[in-house]
Structure 1
């Protein structure tokens, strides 16, 4: 066995919560939560990441062999390296920096209210800034051949986008200091008749490593020159269709990764605390 005090220090360094007493054994997966309206039935719990770390921490308290320590370390490294992809990507959000509306954007002290929480109106600003940057990413990274047209979507010079409505579902009050990443995704695959885009928005707290808020945006395609609704340019429609397909691929890929991680964590549990002869190791008092 590996010395438990050394294990505790190592795993606490990467943010694993280690329970101080034996808990009631969990008999079900932590990964799936009840979906909100319009969400996938396979939506991952916002607490999946922290729950998984806690489960590994509990395994530590019952003693682990060298191979088990190595396996736990590999799982934790994956969680630390890919947490955005696993949490947001499993819902279909594209988390690459060239796709994010805001990537590791730093919250500033002045965005807090008198209660010391980030003011509610700031979440709307994060979502709106993220949406504009999401569009500009097409001009800068995805389809630079049509750079000017993509950039004009956020202006009133020709075909543009007008926010019709936005709703915000607050998950927990963020506080300074923190960093956020904001992701947008198409709720449906657009077609030649689409005169609006329905977007889901995820505002991710880096400090808590989970969604701080979810937004729903209804955006109208508008021809400022003609003064009426319009459809998207053919090249824009083609790129948005590709984006939707990438979203579906990201969802499938990351849900598969989560399922694999769940199975690996469950094996650690059955090898450590969840067995008839398991005894908790509190380590030496020295």
Structure 2
């Protein structure tokens, strides 16, 4: 994914074609596990083996749409302590924060807390749902730094980021000044549903129906949909996440994201394009994924 601009302000707004973005620190995301292997915990951020970032390598598809709206849980019998409001990712699709909502109603109107991604664990439940496991109670989470009015602007403030990471006992990894290209952060929820421009085209040629995450929860594919009526009869084509380009446009006092895919409308909507045909489980088929990469001329990462 390429990011052509560096922004210095952001607000908590989502649009269809233009989507608000925000910026913060660079954090380390470890490589994807091999089959049957869990993501190893970073000893630099663990304390008495209390925190980890393990994932279930056999949990099937990891869709952003399925993670959001789930719950964060505390240890033991603590149960639900917050709602998962969003994932905050960088331009390479790596997750930096899990945005939690504490209080409010159904995750709306509560305090927004940016938990460094590696502090907790995403767990795939027996009921096929996801939850984010933390080793802290709700009362402890109430003491965490809060994003005032839900704004992501503090994520580009080195002092705020340092305090937030100290609270969660998570190391600051990367450029503390937040001035590198990797400091370009956006909300995963804002990408889902966004309109997408084609290469060298001004008009939308598709919408992002969902974002597919790898075993390390890095974005690997986006499902682009077009056609149909009210969601019926829609064609869905998966494209590698690396084919997306994020640019920014100023709109009054905020900066907003423009999503472009590096292909043409004719290529994306061709009858020969690899489509899901209503079966997202095709994303688990290596042969189908090879076809996707071959069709768009993108080497698997």
Q: What TM-score do the two structures reach when normalised by structure 1?
A: 0.23
Q: Which has the higher strand share?
A: 2
> Which has the larger helix fraction?
1
Normalising to structure 2: TM-score of the pair? 0.23
Q: Which has the larger radius of gyration?
A: 1
